[in-house]
Structure 1
Amino acid sequence: MTESNGKIRVVVVGAKGRMGREVVKTVLNDPQLELAGAVDRTLHQVDVGSVLGLGDIGVPFANRLGECLVQSNADVMIDFTNPAAVRDNVYTALEYGVRPVVGTTGMSQDDLLAWDRILREKGIGGIVAPNFAIGAILMMKFAAMAARYLPHVEIIELHHDQKLDAPSGTALKTAEMIAAERQSVRQGHPDEEEKLAGARGADFDGMRIHSVRLPGYVAHQEVIFGGVGQTLTIRHDSISRESFMPGVALAAKKVMELTGLVYGLEHLMF
């Protein structure tokens, strides 16, 4: 930690956005964290609190991440922006030795491997998590456990209509965790035919993943298991973006103890 007060200095990227606003509030309200900077490309030298309706807090927006990281002497960068922006932002954070905490999904495996290598070379940690809601992490954990006994499964994920990637990172992470606990299963009738392409959803290791995008949703997922004479449904609903904030705060603190990249909040919880 860089400050004598022992607090972790955090820079929030995209602080004016829907997730960014919640992250700023979380950092301001956590006694172990300190808001050291905030980045938005459209704002510069305007007090963050005045824009977010929190009153002046003495932290101005910056429109260049690199300058903000240096001037703020940041420990951690939290980023929930879009995949294209996050990629560049993480490499910038790594250049300055700042630990990234990323909640945006859609990152390539090549980038994740590169970030892990750079982080290990620098002796610091980073976290990328498809979902920061504690309940969602438990949902994925329970689904992996159930797959040992009920291997036939389909995943339905439902998000707001502005989400860019499909399936969601949470659905893909759930499928990966399920695949690690069961053998591949060819589900459905062997001669089934899609009358409309994509009607059966995406195929991941034999299980099907379906994506719904509609106004009114935030982030939701259900995992449906089928067995002889029974079904089991495990569902999680984030009804507001506040649901992600305890996990974000946990990650911002735990990342200070890590070396290399951790993918998935479950590795910090279990």
Structure 2
Amino acid sequence: MGHEVSQACIRRGRGHGAERESRCMTLAPVGLTGPGMPEQCQVVEGGTYAVKLVGSDQPAAQKQALEELKAAHGDKLVIIDFTHPSAVNANAELYTAAGVNFVFGTTGGDRDALMKVTEQSGVYAVIAPNMGKQIVALQATMERMAKDFPGAFAGYKLEVTESHQKTKADTSGTAKAMVSSFQGLGVDPFTHEQITQLRDDASQRAFGVPEEFSNGHAFHTYTLTSSDGSVQFQFKHNVCGRRTYGEGVADAVQFIASQAAGKAPKKVYNMIDILEAGEMK
């Protein structure tokens, strides 16, 4: 995901004249990563960008790297986090302690603790389980549907199946958010633990995932069936690759940088906030 996000930010920063001045983004020369990773990576997008990597097994070096970047770039520095559920809370504490604004797409971890430490720190942040702008719009639509028509699907049975690459350790955050909306619509009791996860090749092929996207996809199907089985509704959103998420992250980075520059009173946002602000490009 890191490469796709980096490439999207580089593409977004290629404007000309006033557009370039207002939208320009560049990669920091240093990135943070997990333990046991290479000391450097290269991002290729209209050129080659070398990025030094500092692992979480070097906490002092990570702290120093953040402090130096913050001193050099101030509020123009925005961290983008797509890591592992086990790193969610430690990473948030690291960023907030350094006073660095961030975009957080990693799911899992203690979400209440994540929100609390972020809100108390005073940094600007976008925290969202999904960065795909069209999927965000669907989520917002379902939230509003549940608010406007509570109980519309009372008595309906819900089934949810999601498929992601094998490296995704936790249940889809998008699926969980959609389940909350369906609960508001009155479906029969359904918990996040009932979501079916597909992570093996055979199940994914049967679910319609193209083999070439085994290592990067997000397929979701939500099925609602009436109590007598005579009526069925189905909602799907299937994504091959990661480009759409990278573009959404670029939107989030520009949005949070503009909020920080304008000293906006609200500091913690989600992708629906960005959609409502008309800031998705």
TM-score, normalization by structure 2: 0.69
**Would you say 1:161 and 2:166 are equivalent positions?**
yes
Segments of 4+ in structure 1 off by > 6 A?
Answer: none
**Match for residue 94 of structure 1 among 83, 93, 96:** 96
CA distance in 2, matches of 1:113, 1:266: 16
Match of 2:31 in 1: 38
Change over 3 Å in CA distance of 1:116–1:104 after alignment to 2: same
Match of 1:137 in 2: 136
Match of 1:85 in 2: 87
Amino acid in structure 2 at the alignment position of 1:171: A
Match of 1:210 in 2: 196
Amino acid in structure 1 at the alignment position of 2:79: M
Shift of 1:72: 2.2
Q: Which runs of 5+ in 2 are unaligned?
A: 14-22, 56-60, 202-213, 277-281
Match of 1:21 in 2: 3
**Would you say 1:182 and 2:185 are equivalent positions?**
yes
CA distance in 2, matches of 1:255, 1:109: 20
Shift of 1:177: 2.7
Match of 2:241 in 1: 240
Task: Please give the secondary structure, in 1, of the residue aligned with 2:10.
Answer: helix
**Match for residue 261 of structure 1 among 248, 264, 268:** 268
Match of 1:11 in 2: none
Match of 2:153 in 1: 150
**Contact residue 89 and residue 110 of structure 2 kept, 8 A:** no
Alignment of structure 1 residues 103-114 onto 2, 5 Å: 103-114=105-116
Tell me the matched-pair count: 225
**Contact residue 137 and residue 266 of structure 1 kept, 8 A:** yes
Shift of 1:146: 5.7
**Contact residue 4 and residue 242 of structure 2 kept, 8 A:** yes
CA distance in 2, matches of 1:135, 1:214: 27
Q: Which runs of 5+ in 1 are unaligned?
A: 1-18, 188-202
Q: Which has the higher helix share?
A: 2
**Contact residue 87 and residue 109 of structure 2 kept, 8 A:** no
RMSD: 2.7
Change over 3 Å in CA distance of 1:134–1:173 after alignment to 2: same
TM-score, normalization by structure 1: 0.72
Amino acid in structure 2 at the alignment position of 1:90: A
- Aligned-pair identity (%): 22
CA distance in 1, matches of 2:176, 2:168: 15
Task: Please give the secondary structure, in 2, of the residue aligned with 1:105.
Answer: coil
